[in-house]
């Protein structure tokens, strides 16, 4: 019998808990699904596994992230800074060490390796890897205020994102005479909001103090994509890529004037028919780019976000190694389980 060791926290109801429910499914295939939380691993509570072969399935360390990283901001720090990443990397390194020491005499394989899940926390590094394989938004390396103003005066629209963030948090959009941010700016300080939801965008147009302060942070600067519009809305597509195959997709839309499509920040989920008039060749290219991005990042499970430009170019804007699973009625966890069986014989 082979064993799958799924590592996650029970508060992660979007993915880990759904996967845990597949124990009987795997049992019928002569595979044991064993689960453990991250804290138990650090306490040395990894159980004896008799199987020679073990597949490690990493899920997001949500409890640690929420208690130690999300709540760790102090004066001078903002959400998504390098310190967030360093804490995450150190934590995952400790977990890896405990696992590989305990099961040193086993054949370990990974759904997503520790190295791969660490890369996807870094937007700049992720982009540098996938741009060799797929189209991505143009980046600007400058951190000079005057350079940004010159770009805006030339008609450029820019997104400034925190380099180690997610879920549409810590984003600023700039265009000439229209600056929006979902950070709080108070007393000349950039302040992070609490939680994952309700990061509302506020007008901070032509505030040089804010922009100069933001440019000091751990950020990436991208040119905004001129998006394809359908039914008066801009949209992107979250592709769920499992072992090189598209197993599900979510179309997220918002009004043209809104900054992000993330559902956590007010975006809407659309039916598949929403893209009905989009040429099939564009859809196929978008799917191909999502698969190639996941492959470039060495991710067997990935959520890849693609936006279609007005010219019909499918550009990859984000890639996640810990995508929350779709609603249970779509049974994505079973699709993932079946693909694991096909690949791990």
- Domain shared by 242 and 281, yes or no: yes
Whether residue 191 is found in the same domain as residue 249:
no
In contact, 168 and 265? CB cutoff 8 Å: yes
pLDDT value at position 23? 95
Residue 162 shares a structural domain with residue 70: no
- pLDDT 10s digits, 152-207: 999 999 999 999 998 889 999 999 999 999 999 999 999 998 888 889 999 999 99
Given 196, 223, 250, the domain boundary residue is 223
Count CB-CB contacts under 10 A for residue 329.
6
Put residue 295 in one of left, alpha, beta given phi > 0 → left and psi -120 to 50 → alpha: alpha
CATH number, position 71: 3.40.50
Q: How far apart are CA 105 and CA 52, in angstroms?
A: 8
Establish if 124 belongs to a structural domain. no
**Distance (Å, whole) CA 92 – CA 108:** 16
% of the chain exceeding 70 in pLDDT: 98
Distance CA 25, CA 31 (A): 9
Chain segment 102-134, per-residue pLDDT in tens: 999 999 999 999 999 999 889 999 999 999 999
On the CB side of 291, CA atoms within 13 Å amount to 12
User: What's the chain's average pLDDT?
Assistant: 94
Residues 68-92: pLDDT tens digits?
Answer: 887 766 666 889 999 989 999 999 9
State mean pLDDT over 283-312: 97
Q: Are 212 and 284 in the same domain?
A: no
Going by their DSSP bridges, the two strands 301-308 and 314-320 should be labelled as antiparallel
> Within this chain, do residues 156 and 176 fall inside the same structural domain, yes or no?
yes
Residue 146 vs residues 152, 201, 208, 220: alpha-carbon distances, Å: 10, 24, 10, 17
Residues 234 and 323 in one domain: yes
Give domain status of residue 118, yes or no: no
**Ramachandran region, residue 69 (left: φ > 0; alpha: ψ -120 to 50; beta: rest):** alpha
Q: Are residues 189 and 236 located together in one domain of the fold?
A: no
pLDDT of residue 76: 66
Q: Which whole number is the average pLDDT over 35-51?
A: 97
Over the Cα atoms of the chain, what is R_g?
21
Which of 197, 223, 249 corresponds to the end of one domain?
Answer: 223
Residue 137 lies in a domain: no
Q: Are both 251 and 210 inside the same structural domain?
A: no
Of 168, 200, 223, which residue is a domain's last?
223
CATH of the domain at 307: 3.30.470.20
Question: How much is the pLDDT for 75?
Answer: 61
pLDDT above 90: residue 96: yes
25 and 97 together in one domain? yes
The total number of structural domains in the chain stands at 3
Domain containing residue 103: 2-113
Residue 7 CA from chain centroid, whole number = 18
CA distance 340 to 247: 12
pLDDT digits (tens, 9 = 90+) for 175-190: 999 999 999 999 999 9
């Amino acid at each position: 019998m082979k064993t799958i060791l799924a590592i996650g926290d029970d508060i992660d109801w979007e993915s880990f808990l759904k996967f845990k429910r597949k124990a009987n499914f795997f049992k019928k295939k002569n595979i044991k699904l064993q689960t453990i939380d991250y804290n138990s691993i650090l306490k040395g509570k990894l159980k004896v596994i008799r199987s020679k072969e073990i597949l490690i399935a990493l899920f997001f360390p949500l409890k640690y992230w929420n208690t130690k990283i999300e709540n760790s901001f102090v004066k001078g720090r903002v959400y998504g800074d390098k310190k967030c990443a360093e804490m995450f990397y150190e934590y995952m390194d400790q977990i890896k060490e405990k696992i590989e020491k305990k099961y040193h005499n086993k054949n370990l394989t990974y759904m997503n390796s520790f190295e791969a899940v660490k890369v996807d926390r870094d937007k700049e590094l992720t982009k540098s890897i996938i741009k060799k394989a797929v189209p991505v938004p143009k980046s600007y390396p400058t951190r000079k205020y005057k350079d940004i103003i010159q770009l805006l005066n030339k008609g450029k629209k820019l997104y400034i994102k925190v380099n180690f963030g997610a879920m549409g948090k810590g984003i600023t959009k700039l265009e000439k005479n229209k600056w929006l941010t979902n950070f709080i700016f108070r007393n000349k300080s950039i302040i992070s909001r609490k939680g994952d939801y309700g990061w509302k965008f506020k007008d901070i147009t032509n505030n040089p103090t804010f922009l100069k302060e933001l440019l000091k942070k751990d950020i990436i600067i991208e040119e905004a994509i001129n998006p394809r519009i359908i039914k008066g809305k801009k949209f992107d597509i979250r592709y769920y890529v499992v072992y090189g195959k598209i197993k599900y997709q979510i179309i997220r839309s918002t009004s043209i004037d809104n900054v992000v499509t993330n559902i956590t920040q007010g975006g809407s989920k659309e039916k598949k028919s929403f893209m009905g008039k989009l040429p099939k060749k564009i859809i196929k290219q978008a799917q191909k780019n999502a698969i190639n991005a996941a492959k470039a990042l060495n991710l067997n499970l990935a959520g890849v976000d693609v936006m279609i430009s007005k010219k019909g170019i499918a550009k990859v804007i984000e890639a996640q190694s810990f995508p929350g699973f779709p609603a249970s009625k779509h049974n994505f966890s079973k699709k993932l389980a079946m693909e694991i069986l096909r690949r791990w014989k």
